[in-house]
């Protein structure tokens, strides 16, 4: 079920990227519109960005997707820059060429989130289970998500995740105003 609200496309992407930073690992996929794919200059601009930021985890398949991969476990000694900083920088970069909604069709997040991080508690009563969260944010201002690994608790966990997402969205909106 798609959920609509009045928050901007960019705000939703930034809120989801904030949650992704707390995950065990995350992959963010940006899908470009036909306008971008048919414009060689725009396509080359995105390719250049991916090449310049490949050390940060960006990959461009040369056609439709720009992927950003993040894994907490890879480098525990060096603190990672928050994902939302990379995402914000990328969104600002491509927004210089036009409205974000005319450049991106959707943004897809695939995240592995620990149950205790979703519940936002540290307790011996809460197991250390990993939940797979897939969240799709579309340029028509809708979003939807699915949680796997909840052992018949998916509906309850989805309500909790939506609450977490809405609280991050509220924070993002307060910072962008």
pLDDT interval class at 17 (50, 70, 90):
very high
What share of the chain has pLDDT > 70, as a percent? 82
Q: Express each pLDDT in 24-42 by its tens digit.
A: 888 899 999 998 989 999 9
**pLDDT at residue 10 in the model:** 93
Mean pLDDT value across the chain: 84
Work out the average pLDDT over 43-62: 86
**pLDDT at residue 63 in the model:** 59
Question: HEC states along the chain?
Answer: CCEECCCCHHHHHHHHHHHHHCCCEEEEEEEECHHHHHCHHHHHHHHHHHHHCHHHCEEECCCCEEEEEEEHHHCCCCCCCCHHHHHHHHHHHHHCCCCHHHHEEEEEEEEEEEHHHHHCCCCCCCCCCEEEEEEEEECCCEEEEEEECCCCCHHHHHHHHHHHHHHHHHHHHHHHC
Q: What global pTM score does this model have? A: 0.87
Q: Express each pLDDT in 124-164 by its tens digit.
A: 666 778 899 999 999 998 999 999 987 777 788 889 899 99
């Amino acid at each position: 079920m798609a959920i609509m609200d009045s928050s901007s496309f960019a705000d939703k992407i930034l809120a989801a990227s904030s949650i992704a930073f707390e995950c065990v690992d995350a992959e963010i996929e940006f899908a470009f519109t036909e306008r971008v794919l048919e414009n060689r200059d725009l396509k080359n601009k995105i390719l250049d960005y991916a090449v310049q930021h490949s050390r940060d985890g960006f990959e461009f398949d040369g056609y439709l997707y720009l992927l950003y991969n993040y894994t907490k476990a890879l480098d525990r000694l060096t603190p990672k820059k928050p994902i939302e900083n990379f995402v914000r920088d990328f969104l600002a970069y491509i927004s210089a060429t036009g409205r974000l909604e005319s450049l991106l069709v959707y943004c897809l997040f695939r995240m592995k989130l620990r149950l205790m991080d979703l519940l936002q508690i540290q307790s011996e009563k809460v197991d250390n289970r990993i939940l797979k969260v897939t969240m799709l944010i579309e340029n028509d201002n809708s979003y939807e998500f699915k949680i796997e690994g909840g052992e018949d608790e998916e509906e309850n966990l989805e309500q909790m995740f939506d609450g977490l997402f809405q609280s991050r969205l509220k924070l993002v909106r307060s910072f962008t105003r």
